[in-house]
């Protein structure tokens, strides 16, 4: 149901390669099809690396400052030195968007632990690359009817770091398929943190908006939604128990690729009326205007 890539034809693959022909590896423009890093990189040997992922709309890297700040924060927390300045990376991103003629798509930044002679100790020279990719779309029914999440007992290691480790959700692929769920909802000691690639929000009966405080990646969409919610509603950033989520009037997840996506089922529990609620719809409209204003301001 969610394997959108299964319908890609040989023609599409050719187009994708053409569209994302170039990447930037360690500061040099390279053909994406030729670019490579060596086998002794610690990202491959030990899963030691970070990344970030930002949308491009109308040729503009959206909320670039926020993504750059998070990427730099991740590199510091992960103790992987950033090989280029923030300004330099921003200019690489702008160049790659122009070079690959991206109107709508995504930019992925990856910083690895770099090579290691003994397979454990970093040499001190990380690998850094930037790639572009196609826009990610979801069926309109996901927004019209809402999606289902399934709870699993887990909290991410170093949740404030956008690390390369997404093993937990990858192991849940069959479980998600058989449950007809879009994604997981991480719960630890009965406290909800986030979904595998999205942040989580609930709306209470008295229209208060709540989002978890601990064990979360500080999503850029979460930050924007918090800003908009604070202006228009009462907002709390605090722990949410699974019972509170089951009893919520509305729930939704947020991410750079999904925007605001209504959640109408968690496990076998219907949330609210079972359809996207008015607060989720209003916030979706506010976020859309916020993004348009951002584009106009650039």
Ligand X SMILES: Cc1ncc(COP(=O)(O)O)c(C=O)c1O
> Minimal distance in Å, beta carbon 33 to ligand X?
26
Residue nearer to ligand X on the CB measure, 102 or 225? 225
Residue nearer to ligand X on the CB measure, 25 or 184? 184
Interface with ligand X, residue 198, by CB under 6 A: yes
Q: Which region holds residue 215: left if phi is over 0, alpha if psi is between -120 and 50, else beta?
A: left
Interface with ligand X, residue 255, by CB under 6 A: yes
Scanning residues 199 to 228, which ones bind ligand X (CB under 6 A)? 199, 217, 219-222
Q: Whole-angstrom Cα distance, residue 156 to residue 143?
A: 27
Residues in contact with 240: Cβ distance below 8 Å, sequence separation at least 6, in sequence order: 191, 192, 200, 202, 210, 211, 212
> Minimal distance in Å, beta carbon 182 to ligand X?
14
Which residues are paired to 278 by β-bridges?
none
Contact 73, 194 (CB under 8 A): no
> Minimal distance in Å, beta carbon 77 to ligand X?
14
Site map 140..179 versus ligand X, x via CB under 6 A: ----------------------------------------
Between the alpha carbon of residue 6 and those of residues 2, 67, 135, 262, the distances in Å are 9, 30, 16, 25
Interacting residue with ligand X among 41, 172, 183, 194 (CB under 6 A):
194
> Minimal distance in Å, beta carbon 145 to ligand X?
22
Q: Which helix (H) or strand (E) holds 226?
A: helix 220-232
Between the alpha carbon of residue 228 and those of residues 31, 36, 137, 246, the distances in Å are 41, 42, 24, 24
> Minimal distance in Å, beta carbon 66 to ligand X?
8
Both structure tokens of 83:
């090989």
Contact 51, 109 (CB under 8 A): yes
Interface with ligand X, residue 56, by CB under 6 A: no
Residue nearer to ligand X on the CB measure, 84 or 158? 158
Site size for ligand X (CB under 6 A):
12
Residue nearer to ligand X on the CB measure, 36 or 137? 137
Interacting residues with ligand X (CB under 6 A): 194, 197-199, 217, 219-222, 254-256
């Amino acid at each position: 149901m969610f394997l959108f890539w299964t319908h890609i034809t040989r023609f599409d693959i050719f187009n994708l390669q053409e569209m994302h022909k170039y990447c930037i590896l360690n500061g040099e423009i390279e053909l994406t099809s030729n670019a490579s890093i060596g086998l002794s990189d610690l990202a491959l040997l030990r899963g030691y690396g970070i990344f970030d992922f930002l949308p491009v709309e109308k040729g503009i890297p959206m909320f670039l400052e926020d993504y750059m700040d998070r990427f730099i924060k991740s590199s510091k927390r992960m103790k992987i030195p950033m090989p280029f300045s923030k300004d330099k990376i921003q200019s690489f991103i702008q160049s790659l968007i122009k070079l690959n003629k991206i109107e709508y798509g995504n930019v992925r930044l990856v910083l690895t632990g770099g090579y290691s002679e003994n397979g454990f100790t970093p040499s001190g020279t990380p690998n850094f690359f930037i790639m572009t990719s196609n826009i990610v779309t979801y069926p309109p029914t996901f927004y019209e009817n809402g999606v289902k999440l399934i709870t699993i007992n887990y909290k991410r290691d170093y949740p404030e770091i956008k690390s390369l480790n997404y093993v937990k959700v990858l192991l849940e692929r069959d479980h998600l398929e058989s449950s007809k769920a879009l994604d997981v909802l991480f719960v630890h000691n009965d406290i909800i943190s986030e979904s595998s690639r999205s942040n989580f929000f609930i709306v209470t009966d008295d229209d208060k908006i709540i989002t978890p405080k601990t064990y979360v990646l500080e999503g850029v969409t979460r930050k924007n939604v918090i800003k908009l919610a604070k202006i228009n509603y009462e907002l709390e950033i605090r722990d949410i128990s699974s019972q509170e989520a089951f009893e919520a009037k509305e729930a939704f997840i947020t991410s750079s690729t999904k925007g605001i996506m209504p959640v109408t089922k968690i496990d076998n529990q219907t949330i609210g009326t079972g359809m996207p609620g008015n607060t989720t719809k209003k916030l979706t409209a506010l976020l859309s205007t916020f993004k348009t204003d951002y584009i106009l301001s650039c």
